[in-house]
Amino acid sequence: MILFKFLFQIYIIFEMKNIILCFKHDVSMAQKSEDGWTRVSLPKSLTDKIRQMLEEEGVEYNSISSFIQDAVRRRLEELEKIRLVGEEYNLDEKEVKRMAEFEHVNIAENNGKTIIAIKDNSDGHIYDVYLSKDARGRAKMFCEGDKSFDCVHVKYVYFILLPKLNKLIEEYKKKRRE
């Protein structure tokens, strides 16, 4: 159930990306008001999903608005993180921009392999990344689509996804110990 909640939250957060793009490209969507708030329109299908999740899963948010604020904040933090990681590891600027378009869509087991699926919005394809062995027999992440150990999808898994997963696993273990 925890994993389901986590994946659902990830899904909602990535949906939020489209909303942030709306902010960028269609400011007219947002109506300015004088009380320090800006109102935006969201697809009803999305707010229905959020409402359903808050009701059924008992996730602790006071309102849809507070949930959306949290999701948008997380997405902004993630974009900032991608930028910082790019600087820290001297990644190619084009690759960093491309990473901002990635959606982590799923983690699945197949023939004993744990596969991380990434949807790359720059070409619309889904790239499977999993642990494999390189020519020298060293365990490394491998991108099936690019047949590569160091393409932009592998870097995304190493630098953006894995630190996040490690943190979640730590929190999970901590909770179990309590």
Contact residues toward Zn ion (CB under 5 A) are: 127, 143, 146, 151, 153
Count of beta carbons in the 10 Å neighbourhood of residue 122: 13
Closer of 20 and 115 to Zn ion (Cβ): 115
Least distance between Zn ion and beta carbon 151 (Å): 3
Instruction: Specify the residue, 53 or 143, whose C-beta has the smaller distance to Zn ion.
Output: 143
Nearer to Zn ion, 53 or 96 (CB): 96
Least separation in angstroms between residue 140's CB and Zn ion is: 13
Count other C-beta atoms under 10 Å from residue 154's C-beta: 20
Buried b (16+ CB within 10 A) or exposed e, 39-71: eeebeeebeeebeebbeeeeeeeeebeebbeeb
Q: CB of residue 142 vs Zn ion: minimum separation in angstroms? A: 9
**Nearer Cβ to Zn ion (50/152):** 152
Cα gap 16→55, rounded to integer Å: 20
Q: Tell me if 71 sits within 8 A of 12, measured CB to CB.
A: yes
Nearest approach, Cβ of 115 to Zn ion (angstroms)? 13
